[in-house]
Structure 1
Amino acid sequence: MHRFRALALAFGAALLLLLGLPSAADAHGFTTVVYVDASSPGADHVVVKFGLEYDLLLVSVADTQKDDPFYREGQPAWDDGDIAGMTAALEDHKQSVLGYVTQHFGIAYGGSDCAPTLAPDASVDINEEQGVPYAHIAIDFACEPNADADVLKDGHTFHSDLFASSEGYVKGAKTIVTYQLDDQDGTAALDENKTSFTTKQTWGQRFWEFYRLGAEHLLKGLDHLLFLTALIIGSRKLREIVLAATTFTLAHSTTLILAAFGVVHVTADVVEPLIALSIAATAAWYLWRVVRKREHATDLDVTSRSHFALDRAGWVRLTVVFGFGLIHGMGFAGALGIDHSWSWPLLWSLLIFNVGIETVQLGLIVLIFPVLMLLRHRAPTAALWITTAVALGVSVIGLIWFGQRVFGFELIGEGG
C-alpha cells in the first residue's frame, strides 16, 4: 500500500511538473517577434530595417511617447484591415515611432552610441508567419568610434527590449536580428533574459542563444507540453514513446526548416487552431483505447521480438503523430520568426533552436515515462484511472483552445 502511494505520488508530481512549468498565459497567443535586419552599406554607419507588430506599436507609442493621435488614427484602420490607412498613420507619426524604437533599441560601436536617423520609407503589410499587420521602418545609425577603441576586436553591440513585458501588453517578446557587419554574417536572438549581443560573439555564445530560445519555447509553450503529455500517457511501452518522440522530432524539424526558409507558408490563424486540435485528438486517441480495451488499453499485441515492433494501432498512431508534428513545426517556425532567404547562419540557428527543443522534450520523457511504467506494473488499475483523467483533461483543454482560436471566445486564458 505504501509503495502504491509512493508511486502514485511520484507520477502525480512528475505530471504536475510537466503541466505546471508554465502558466496558461504562456500558451501560444499574446507574444510577438520583432524582425531586425542590419547591414553596413558604408563606413561608420549601419542601416537597420525593422518589422514590428502594428497593433503593439500603436499602444506602445501612445503610452511612452504620449502620442494618442497615432493610436486614434491607426486603430480604426487596424480594426478594418485597412493597409493604406495604417500606412498613412505610420507616415504621419514617424517621429513618435522613431522615439519609441530608439528608446528601446540601440547600437554601440567603439565605445560610443550610434546616432539614429529615420529613413523616409515606411510601410505596412501582413506578416505571413504571424498572420497580422506589421509596420516596416528603417533607421540609419551613424557610428563614430572613440579614437582609442579597438573596433576590429569589439565589433558592434546591439541592445533591444522592444515590447518588454513591463509594458503590460505581451509576454516573452523576441527580437530576431540578422546582420551583415564586421565581416560577419549571422543571426542573434534577444529577449527579456538576454537584451544585448555583439557581432564578435563567440561560437559558444551563438550556440547558447538559440539553444536557450528553443528550450524555453518548449518549456513555456503549454500547448506543446500538453501534446507531449498526451503522447507520454498514450504510449504503452518504451519502444512506443521512443518511436513517437522520434517521429514527432523528424516531422516538426522538417516543417520548422521549410517554413522558416519560406518553402511553406501557413498563417498563425491556421496553425494555432490545428495545434490545439492535435492536442485534443492525441489525448482522445488514448481515451478511445480505454473505452474499447478497458484494463487491456496498454497491451501491445505483437508477435515479433524486435525491440521496435508495434501492432497496427501503434503504426497508425505514428502516422497521426507525424502529421501533427508537421503542424507543430510550423508553430515552432513562427515562434522563431525568421523569414529571410537561405543562408548558412540561418540554417545553423534553426538547428540549434531545434536541439534546445529536443533536449527538453527528451528530458521530460526520461523523467516521467519510467515512473508511469512502474506505476502501471505495480498498480495497473490506479494507473489507468490517473492516465484516463489526465487524458480527459488534456482533451477538453485542447478543444476549448480550438474554439478560442477559431471563434474568439474566451474560457481559458492564453495570453498576458
Structure 2
Amino acid sequence: MALAAGTANAHGVGEADAAFIEGSSGINLVPYMYLGAKHMVTGYDHLLFLAGVIFFLYRMKDIGTYVTLFAIGHSTTLLLGTILDIRANPFLVDAVIGLSVAYKAFDNLDGFRTLFGRTPNPKAAVLIFGLFHGFGLATKLQDLTLSPEGMVPNLLAFNVGVEMGQMMALGLILIVMNLWRLSGSFQRTAIAANAALMCAGFVLVGFQLTGYFATSA
C-alpha cells in the first residue's frame, strides 16, 4: 500500500522543483513557465486523457475546440484553487482524474450508447474533467510554501507553461495518431487500444484510492 501511495503521487511536483518553488521569491516568470511545461509533458494522467479525447477526432477545428475546453477548465481551477487556497484531498481528486481517463475510453468504445441508449455531452465532459485536472495540480502546489511576493504573476506564468507543454505533447500525440490512422492496423486495434486506455484509467483510480486509505489509516 505504501508503494502504491508513492506511485500515485509520481506525477506531482518533483523534489528539486518543489525546493526551487519554496526557495524562490519575487517574480520568476521563465522558471515557472518551464516548470508548468515540464509538468504537462511528464503528466501521464493528462496525456492519457488528451489521447482519449482526440482519439477519434480528425478535423483540426474539432481538436482545437476540445483542447480549448480542457485548457479553460484546467486553467480555472489551477489558478483559483491555488490563489484562494481551496482545499480537497489530493488522492480523491486524482482518483477522479484517473476516472476521467477510463470515462473517455469507455465513451470512445460507445459504451454509454450501448448501455444507456444515449451519450453524455462530450464537450461538457471534457470541460468538467478539465476542472478536476487543474484542481489536482492545485492540491500539489498547496503543499508547498509559495512566497506571496510575485505569487500571482508566477502562477500565471506557470499556467502559460502548462498550456505550452500541452501543445507540445499534443503535437507529438497527433503525429503518432496520424501515422497510426494511415496504417491498415488502426481499425483493427482501435478497440483494443481504448480498452487498454480504460484499464489504465482504472489502475490510476486504484493507485489513488490505495494512497488515500494508506495515508488515512
Please state which band the TM-score falls in when normalised by the shorter chain.
0.7 to 0.9
Mapped partners of 2:164, 2:15: distance in 1: 23
Q: Which residue of 2 aligns with 1:386?
A: 189
How far apart, in 2, do the equivalents of 1:342 and 1:258 lie? 16
What does residue 351 of structure 1 align with?
156
Separation of aligned partners in 2, 1:25 and 1:241 = 34
Q: Which has the higher contact order (CA 8 A, sep 6+)?
A: 2
> TM (normalized to structure 1)?
0.43
How far is 1:339 from its partner?
A: 6.9
Report the Cα offset of residue 335 of structure 1: 3.2
Superposed CA offset, 1:168-214 (max 9, x none): xx8656122377xxxxx625xxxxxxxxxxxxxxxxxx222111111
AA matched with 2:135: M
1:328 matched to 2:168? The reply is: no
Q: What amino acid maps onto 2:41 in structure 1?
A: L
Residues 217, 31 of structure 1: alpha-carbon distance in 2 compared, 3 angstrom cutoff: closer
**Aligned-partner residue type, residue 364 of structure 1:** A
- Cα distance change, pair 360–387 in 1 and its aligned pair in 2 (3 A): farther
Indicate the residue corresponding to 2:74 in structure 1.
252
SS in structure 1 of the partner of residue 22 of structure 2: strand
Match of 1:174 among 8, 18, 40: 18
- Tell me the amino acid that sits aligned with residue 217 of structure 1: H
Amino acid at match of 1:372: M
What do the CA deviations read for 1:130-164 (whole angstroms, capped 9, x no partner)?
Answer: xxxxxxxxxxxxxxxxxxxxxxxxxxxxxxxxxxx
Residue of structure 2 in register with 1:285 after alignment: 107
Change (3 A) 1:342 1:321: farther
Distance in 1 between residues matched to 2:131 and 2:161, nearest whole Å: 18
Q: Structure 1 residues 347 and 28, CA, compared in 2 at 3 Å: closer, same or farther?
A: farther
* Unmatched runs of 5 consecutive residues or more in structure 2: 213-217
Kindly state the Cα deviation for residue 227 of structure 1 after the two structures are TM-superposed: 1.4
- Structure 2 partner of 1:265: 87
**Larger fraction in helix:** 2
In 2, the alpha carbon distance for the partners of 1:385 and 1:171 equals 42
Decide which structure has the larger Cα Rg and report it: 1
Counting aligned pairs with the same residue, the percent is: 29
Give secondary structure in 1 for the equivalent of 2:48: helix
Partners of 2:77 and 2:132 within 8 A in 1: yes
1:186 partner amino acid: G
Coordinate RMSD, CA, aligned:
3.6
CA contact (8 A) 1:256 1:332 kept: yes
Normalising by structure 2, what TM-score?
Answer: 0.77
User: Does structure 2 conserve the Cα–Cα contact (< 8 Å) formed by 1:27 and 1:221?
Assistant: no
Supply the AA of the counterpart residue of 1:241: I
Instruction: Give the SS at the match of 2:157.
Output: helix
* Cα pair distance change 1:394/1:259, threshold 3 Å: same
**Aligned in 2, Cα 1:323/1:342: closer, same or farther, shift over 3 Å?**
farther
**Residue of 179, 196, 199 corresponding to 1:396:** 199
Amino acid at match of 1:231: V
Say if 2:81 and 2:135, in contact at 8 Å, map to a contact too: yes
Q: Give the Å deviation of 1:216.
A: 1.4
User: In 1, Cα distance between the equivalents of 2:85 and 2:142?
Assistant: 14
Q: Is the 2:102–2:202 contact (alpha carbons within 8 Å) kept by the matching residues of 1?
A: yes
Equivalent residues, number: 205
Task: Tell me, in whole angstroms, the C-alpha distance in 1 between the residues paired with 2:191 and 2:111.
Answer: 10
Cα drift, residue 290 of structure 1: 11
1:240 lines up with 2:43 in the alignment: no
Instruction: Give the superposition deviation at 1:280.
Output: 0.9
The answer on whether the counterparts of 2:11 and 2:43 sit within 8 Å (CA) in structure 1 is no
1:252–1:328: 8 Å Cα contact kept in structure 2?
yes
How do 1:54-203 and structure 2 match up within 5 A? 174-175=18-19, 176-177=21-22, 186=26
